[in-house]
Amino acid sequence: MEETENKEAMEEAVKTAEPVKEASETVKESEKAAPVNKINGGKYADYTDHDLLTELVKLEKKTASRTGIVSVCMAVIALVFVVSAIFVVPKVISTLSAAENTLNEATTLMGEVNKSLDGMNKMIGNVDKVLTDNTDAMTEAVQKISDIDVKSLNESIQKLNEAVNSLSKVIPGRGR
């Protein structure tokens, strides 16, 4: 029943349809430039084996050309990696080697600085000990000087002066 309704609708559409004018040149050229795939919409049963094989060959040619393009691109990428490995890796290795040498030198210098600082610490400790020892000696010397009786020292100097003056009077030609 549906088929008869569809046929009737088609016949009616054909009767009422206006005649199609001839397509313009640009439309005809675009149809020639982009051929329509005969196998469209999955209707394989309507085509012969030859048509199917032809379409498969076309598809395989497209796939082969795309695969070739991809393989060329991959070869170029591989070439870039190889060139990078040849030219860049030795420079990176030499840079890392120089950095390692610098770090070794810095480590050596740090060891020497530590030794110098240890020596300075010992020297500062010795200076502190010398100051402590000398402070004790200076304190003792100051104590002895302060223990001297200045009054009796002055009296002794005066007596010595008088004795020298008396001797100079006894021995003529010497002294005053």
> Quick one: pLDDT band at residue 34, thresholds 50, 70, 90?
very low
Instruction: Give the three-state DSSP class for 86.
Output: helix
> Quick one: pLDDT band at residue 63, thresholds 50, 70, 90?
very high
Task: Judge whether 38 and 55 are in contact, CB under 8 Å.
Answer: yes
Q: Which structure tokens are listed for 65?
A: 């050309």
Q: Which structure tokens are listed for 93?
A: 């290795």
> Quick one: pLDDT band at residue 139, thresholds 50, 70, 90?
confident
d(CA 120, CA 134): 21
Which secondary structure element, helix H or strand E, spans residue 175, and what is its range?
none
% of the chain at pLDDT higher than 70: 72
More confident residue, 128 or 88: 88
- So what's the pLDDT on residue 33? 46
Is residue 60 over pLDDT 50?
yes
Mean pLDDT of the chain, nearest integer: 78
> Quick one: pLDDT band at residue 76, thresholds 50, 70, 90?
very high
Q: What is the DSSP letter of 36?
A: P
